[in-house]
Amino acid sequence: MSDIRVLVVDDSAVVRKIFTEALSKEPGIEVVGTAPDPYVARDKIVSLKPDVITLDVEMPRMDGITFLRKIMKYYPLPVIIVSSLTAKGGKMALEAMEIGAVEVLSKPGSSYSVGDMKQQLADKIRAAARVNVSAARPQAASASPVSRPATRALTETTNKVVAIGASTGGTEALKAVLTRFPVTMPGIVVVQHMPPNFTTAFAERLNGLCEIAVKEAEDGDAVLPGRALIAPGNFHMLLKRSGARYYVNVKTGPMVCHQRPAVDVLFNSTAQYAGANAVGAILTGMGSDGAKGLLKMREAGARTLGQDEASCVVYGMPKEAWKAGAVEKQYPLDRIADEIMNLL
């Protein structure tokens, strides 16, 4: 197979240099060009025909969001968003992923070391090169904000738990699933591979769209009916139980499957503490994170399902879980929510 051709678009010369040097050492990846702004990038896309673009969202002359809309309309291809770890950066990156970007990466100089960034960058480019762009692009208008019943106190416990894991393409997949859940749903715990602050913006966005409440998890948060907890970026999230009460433990620790948070960490703990009282779902994403943990859930008596290949942005994690025997049955994305409720 030929090398993955990458175009780096960033107004920072330092970032362009770091990315180019890092990727030049990666087998199977070639940086065919760089651009300091969207106007230069536009011409280079046409002349160089890259397979993947890395795109900053905050740039002069034209912001990355506007440029991304043009790319998705006139020359759709996989785009990795590069943004600073700020609340503003997180919200802009989330908007970009709703438009059709397939991955998000924190900029060098953040809490992620440059060393970690190099490996993450290469991994995300390889994932992006395998993306089904038509699945990544929005097929319908975004869901409208909902008004949650004011009478829902969320004070009772739950005997059931839903655990969901996702990566590349997962922000839109999770939105499609969580917006279908009613407030009567058992507690939900979610791992989506994202850096810090991006998960904050993601949880806030979902909270405004879903009938259930959605929040970024904090250590000790109770798992309650009608609420989904999203693992915070750069922290693992584990399910725990005290008597009839489920809660989450948010902690640091070594990366698992090159990820933190890791789906396997959540699924392993769900197998241990919820057993047959759980339903596990694995959605679109690159790699094998979640396969072993979901198998443990199934062996502990939990019901399990996975997203099918045709509806995945990247059929990696669901494929590995299916091959491992962790998934009972695979479904298209638009049936995942209903099937989870059926299994409950």
Give the single-character DSSP code of 311.
Answer: G
Separation CA 158–CA 142 (nearest Å): 30
Dist CA 5 CA 2 (whole Å): 9
Q: Name the nearest CA neighbour of 126 among 1, 290, 263, 262.
A: 1
The single residue of 193, 236, 269, 308 carrying the catalytic annotation is 193
Tokens 């011409």 found at: 43
CB neighbours (10 Å) of residue 218? 11
Residue 328: strand pairing partners: none
Give exposure, 23-47, as e/b (b: 16+ Cβ within 10 Å): beebeebebbbbbbbbeebbebbee
Q: Give the H or E element holding residue 200.
A: helix 198-209
Q: What is the dihedral of CA 34, 110, 174, 325, to 10 degrees?
A: 90
Identity at 272, one-letter amino acid code: Q
Residue 258 designated active-site: no
Count other C-beta atoms under 10 Å from residue 20's C-beta. Answer: 14
| Separation CA 324–CA 250 (nearest Å) | 27
Q: What is the amino acid identity at position 317? A: M
How big is the CA angle at 209 (ends 179 and 54), to the nearest 5 degrees? 95
**How far is residue 62's CA from residue 14's CA, in Å, rounded to a whole number?**
20
Residue 186, both tokens: 């058992």
Instruction: Look at the block and give the residue holding tokens 């990566």.
Output: 167
Q: Which residues are catalytic?
A: 167, 193, 289
